Amino acid sequence: MINEVDTIAAISTALGEGAIGIVRVSGPDAITICNHIVRLVHHQSLSAVKSHTINYGKVVSNDLGQDIDEVMVSVMRAPKTFTREDVIEINCHGGNQAVKRILENLLDAGARLAEPGEFTKRAFLNGRIDLSQAEAVMDLIKAKSDRAMDLAMGQLSGRLSSKIKDLRQEMLQTLAQVEVTIDYPEYDDAEDISLTALSHTAKHIKERIAELLKQSRQGRIIRDGIKTAIIGRPNVGKSSLLNNLIQEEKAIVTEVAGTTRDTIEETITINGIPLELVDTAGIRETTDVVEQIGVARSRKALEEADLVLLLLNRSEPLSESDRALIAATADKKRLILLNKTDLTQQLDRVQLELLLVTTDQVIETSMLEQVGIDALEKSIMDLFMDGKIAERDATYISNVRHIDLLKKADKCLDEVLNACEQQVPVDLIQIDFTRAWDLLGEITGESVQDELLTQLFSQFCLGK
């Protein structure tokens, strides 16, 4: 629990024009501070209203006594709140000025401006949620698709936390058994019993960790999306492909080579998976200064891409530029698109196949006739999601921190198994086993340093 904390306030809605703005207050003096500026229509104090009610009133400025706005004030008393402290939420008219003036008056009345993520941090420190659930709050805010939102909600509901706690409990029972053996070494078979218990538990925990890590790749893709670079020499149909995928005339399409002089970015969703599309300028040698900048940005997009869609003109023979792009993308995950199937084929497929690697998939397309788009989307799913997404209630690991901790715990358990085979003294093996237990605890925050908490919550938005 947090002791002797102050009362914090922040704007919880995005700044800008909108129907409603919300200013949130949390802490031991939340109700007292809000009483300084809130006047309910029935002239009763906020202290007198029932918990978990919403009340109509006005916010009055401290210094001038003028009405600032008509508001609806939610009163929620501890401990049944998100932070497990007294919480007040002032719902006012949207717009920059109203929420800013209300916040200024709350700060004048004694509240402190909340740090980024401080409301969620208090929820964690007060035991309302664990650390993995706290991180899920930000994932929920940043979700780019329905699938990403489902993933975040599953983690927020404690699905991952429950699995990690079960693993740690099983390990704790083994540790307790080993401690007894260390304390009472007079039994002849005590050492053997401990080695057997440690080995058996380590193997089982490794199996469970492997199951969680197996879907981590899919989880990260669902959460973060696939950075996809559309690459090709000028006038092969890159902009037409972007327009077909987003079903909008976003990029200018002409017969003139070099029309796209800068990268154009757009996000779409394919079967619940976000694709961050980057339509690049045609990569070629040019003396045009502006086009040179676009080509440089295209090369950077290529380096950062998770997936490359390499377009070739099926109606023309392979050029030196095509060969250079095939070579430059050989180490990337890519799909080869032979575009312009509506025209007579001039490209030599046999010659092309000699330049490709075994994992390359070739798809024939026509942007003019919208041919091959479905096949392209299916190929992307096959390439990144093995053709399908697991059930919505599956436990995905998408957080990089969680994945790293699971891998480190798994490595510690490898050390345990190796030591058991070599019959190393039990008290030494116990060190690696306990380290694995601690690493799993860092996922949920049961064993975590203050510096990490500060770093994690600093990434949150203000007011959350």
Tell whether 367 and 438 lie within a shared domain. Answer: no
Place of tokens 């149909």: 237
Tell whether 242 and 352 lie within a shared domain. Answer: yes
Read off the DSSP letter of residue 199.
Answer: H
Query: What is d(CA 308, CA 301) in angstroms, rounded to the nearest whole number?
Result: 10
CATH of the domain at 409: 1.20.120.430
Tell whether 28 and 113 lie within a shared domain. Answer: yes
pLDDT at site 53: 95
Residue 1 lies in a domain: no
Among the candidates 78, 100, 130, a domain finishes at 130
Tell whether 351 and 254 lie within a shared domain. Answer: yes
Query: What is d(CA 154, CA 135) in angstroms, rounded to the nearest whole number?
Result: 12
Q: How does strand 67-76 pair with strand 87-93?
A: antiparallel
pLDDT at site 124: 92
CATH of the domain at 360: 3.40.50.300
Query: What is d(CA 444, CA 159) in angstroms, rounded to the nearest whole number?
Result: 11
Tell whether 344 and 360 lie within a shared domain. Answer: yes
Closest CA to 444 of 146, 87, 169, 114: 169
Query: What is d(CA 331, CA 325) in angstroms, rounded to the nearest whole number?
Result: 11
Query: What is d(CA 275, CA 379) in angstroms, rounded to the nearest whole number?
Result: 13
DSSP-derived secondary structure for 348-373: -HHHHHHHS-TT-EEEE-BTTTTBSH
Residue 164 lies in a domain: yes
DSSP-derived secondary structure for 41-86: TT---GGGSPTTEEEEEEEE-TTT--EEEEEEEEEE-TTSSSSSS-
Query: What is d(CA 238, CA 364) in angstroms, rounded to the nearest whole number?
Result: 14
**Encoded tokens for 384:** 């990144």
CATH of the domain at 107: 3.30.1360.120
Query: What is d(CA 280, CA 59) in angstroms, rounded to the nearest whole number?
Result: 52
Residue 256 lies in a domain: yes
Say if residues 97 and 20 touch (Cβ distance below 8 Å). Answer: no
Angle 207-211-212 (CA atoms, 0-180°, nearest 5)?
A: 120
Tell whether 277 and 326 lie within a shared domain. Answer: yes
Give pLDDT tens digits along the chain (464 positions).
444 589 999 999 988 888 899 999 999 999 999 999 999 987 778 999 999 999 999 999 877 778 899 999 999 999 999 999 999 999 999 888 999 999 999 999 999 999 999 999 999 999 999 998 888 888 888 777 777 788 788 888 888 899 999 999 999 999 888 877 666 555 555 567 788 899 999 999 999 999 888 877 777 787 788 899 888 888 888 888 888 888 765 443 434 344 444 457 888 888 778 888 887 765 555 555 555 666 677 777 788 888 999 999 999 999 998 998 899 889 989 999 999 999 999 999 999 999 998 888 999 999 888 899 889 988 988 888 775 555 554 566 778 889 999 999 999 999 999 999 998 988 899 999 999 999 999 999 887 777 777 777 877 777 77
Tell whether 233 and 359 lie within a shared domain. Answer: yes
Tell whether 199 and 257 lie within a shared domain. Answer: no
Residue 359 lies in a domain: yes
Tell whether 44 and 72 lie within a shared domain. Answer: yes
Angstrom CA distances, 375 to 7, 204, 241, 280, stand at 56, 41, 13, 22
Place of tokens 């007292």: 32
Burial class (CB in 10 A: 0-12, 13-18, 19+), 233: buried
The number of folded domains in the chain is 3
The residues that bridge with 91 in the sheet, in sequence order, are: 22, 72
Say if residues 319 and 243 touch (Cβ distance below 8 Å). Answer: no
Tell whether 331 and 348 lie within a shared domain. Answer: yes
Say if residues 39 and 131 touch (Cβ distance below 8 Å). Answer: no
Residue 455 lies in a domain: no
Residue 271 lies in a domain: yes
Read off the DSSP letter of residue 271.
Answer: T
For the whole model, what pTM was predicted? 0.69
Residues of the domain holding 428: 136-215+397-445
Tell whether 167 and 184 lie within a shared domain. Answer: yes
Read off the DSSP letter of residue 272.
Answer: T
Residue 113 lies in a domain: yes
pLDDT at site 263: 59
pLDDT at site 281: 60
pLDDT at site 80: 95
Tell whether 71 and 112 lie within a shared domain. Answer: yes
Among the candidates 130, 165, 184, a domain finishes at 130
Among the candidates 83, 113, 130, a domain finishes at 130
Query: What is d(CA 271, CA 258) in angstroms, rounded to the nearest whole number?
Result: 33
Residue 221 lies in a domain: no
Q: Is the dihedral of CA 379, 383, 387, 388 positive or negative?
A: negative
